Chain A
């Protein structure tokens, strides 16, 4: 099971036949395991890792530290739910440390992000303060290195 997940996490387009060949399982066995993982919500969906900058699409990311006063009974969840439904919100985490929520906001320009923070995020009830940090360069995202590196050469034949 773990091996199937690991393979799909690396390469979502692998077919059950390919996975079967690599893991030594039978194809029906793999097919069934994947259906099960999908049904159980372990595999949430399949998507591509895209370098938008290379595609010529401008994307700006802001990391917003948000301090929130927790609410009785629901803690941070109620505020978090209000925030995460904005389409501008790329990721949202509850953090330990000096602030509470980390909101990753995506926009076409820095102005978009700044506007979102000023207009939507900061005025929310229970939000005490925000601090906005803009991403200047993405080196590695979710385990993927964004820049191509020079190929490492090996001798063509060695004993």
Chain B
């Protein structure tokens, strides 16, 4: 009798370890290091939101909510999406409150993929996209983007990747890790491409509120977009609520119903306290968001200008809170650069390769860090870059 079968499922075993994990371990052993590797706001959740969570607990609201989320929250979400994204959704049928945008991505993929279905994934991208596709039984087809096009996905590249067919397109703009945004004409082109080939769009718009030059254009807000798009968002970034684990999906009733089915069997509902606090987040926090956006924008300008000054050519990011400088001029690979920068200057950045093969030659620098720390990190990077070039 053969006993060689692994206890671990093959598809899990086949997943590569996260490119971030190794750096995490390295940095954790260096408490003095300044980390520009953090993909979450340095701001604490606005007090207004924390206070309403406390109130929710005081009143004893500690039970399950409806699977799709509190009616009140879905109503506020619908209003918010109409106001900020220019798209109307029916709170009863077209919205689902999830455990972070991450769960929305996972559930969307599981709701729509048949085994072997191909999913186009423009890269560099958030580290979870490809593994989530694979875990849902799909097959991820990377679509590289390039700094030459401002990391905006190009239709001819999508077309080439879709030659053997594609069921869905999973993309995130404003983009983590590049900070790229997609202007309206480009969004329209992507939607037209998807429409022509009957491809579903899974659009991760978690950074929508963090754009610095021109607003955000949703995939669902352009002609023919809404009916084939699952719009995914969440409270983690703009409201600085990462630890609350709260996100949402908006889309046509059939897709949301399918997602709600998976969601109801796996997580039942999102945390009640977080949902109640999020109602206030949507009602009363526009100024808090504007203030955080103002500070990110100031840091963004400082980071981009310093990186360019030190010869690490940096494309101008117009969204999220990341800069993605090219480090090729140092003669190092992204991994080498990140490792040596950490060892020699105690500054942590994430190699671009953690976000897809086409991230080689770049590193991700998060500016979700206080200005004094950011300035010190940039000083150290400048001396490192100067030394590297001899």
Contacts and interface: CB of A to CB of B under 8 A. Distances in A.
Nearest to A152: B44
A158 B27 CA distance: 11
Contact of A156 (B35, B127, B294): B35
B127 A159 contact: yes
A157 B350 contact: yes
A147 interface: no
B253 interface: no
Given A22-B301, A23-B298, A156 B44 contact: no
Given A3-B294, A154-B40, A157-B27, A23 B301 contact: yes
B351 to A, nearest CB: 11
B366 to A, nearest CB: 9
Contacts of B39: 158-159
Contacts of B18: 159
Interface in A1-60: 3, 6-7, 21-24
A157 B354 CA distance: 12
B23 A157 contact: yes
B38 interface: yes
B341 interface: no
B302 A154 contact: no
A74 interface: no
B42 interface: yes
B301 A155 contact: no
Contacts of A152: 44
A101 B326 CA distance: 61
B38 A155 contact: yes
B64 interface: no
B24 interface: yes
A57 B195 CA distance: 72
Given A23-B301, A24-B301, A158 B294 contact: no
B258 interface: no
Contacts of B33: 156
Interface in B113-127: 126-127
Contacts of B348: 156-157
A158 B24 CA distance: 8
B128 interface: yes
Nearest to A159: B127
B298 A156 contact: no
Contacts of B176: 159
A14 to B, nearest CB: 10
A158 B40 contact: yes
Interface string B19-38: 01001100110000101011
Nearest to A22: B298
User: What band does the interface of chain B fall in when counting residues whose beta carbon is under 8 Å from A?
Assistant: 20 to 34
A110 B165 CA distance: 82
Contact of A21 (B24, B28, B40, B301): B301
B146 interface: no
Contacts of A6: 294
A109 to B, nearest CB: 36
B71 interface: no
Contacts of A155: 24, 38
A50 to B, nearest CB: 19
A23 B101 CA distance: 32
B329 interface: no
A157 B24 contact: yes
Given A159-B18, A159-B126, A154 B301 contact: no
A22 B18 CA distance: 34
A159 B298 contact: no
A22 B20 CA distance: 30
A140 B301 CA distance: 31
B273 to A, nearest CB: 19
A158 B23 CA distance: 10
Given A3-B294, A21-B301, A159-B20, A154 B42 contact: yes
Contacts of A22: 298-299, 301-302
A7 B301 CA distance: 14
A111 to B, nearest CB: 38
Contacts of A23: 298, 301
A22 B367 CA distance: 13
B383 interface: no
Contacts of A7: 298
Contacts of B62: none
Contacts of B128: 159
Given A158-B37, A158-B40, A159-B127, A21 B302 contact: yes
Contacts of A154: 38, 40, 42
Report the 9 A-B pairs with minimum CB-CB distance, sorted nearest first. A22-B298, A157-B37, A156-B27, A157-B24, A159-B127, A158-B39, A156-B35, A157-B23, A159-B39
Interface of B: 18, 20, 23-24, 27-28, 33, 35, 37-40, 42, 44, 126-128, 176, 294, 298-299, 301-302, 305, 348, 350, 354
Given A156-B27, A157-B23, A159-B39, 8 more contacts: A21-B302, A156-B33, A157-B27, A158-B39, A159-B126, A159-B127, A159-B128, A159-B354
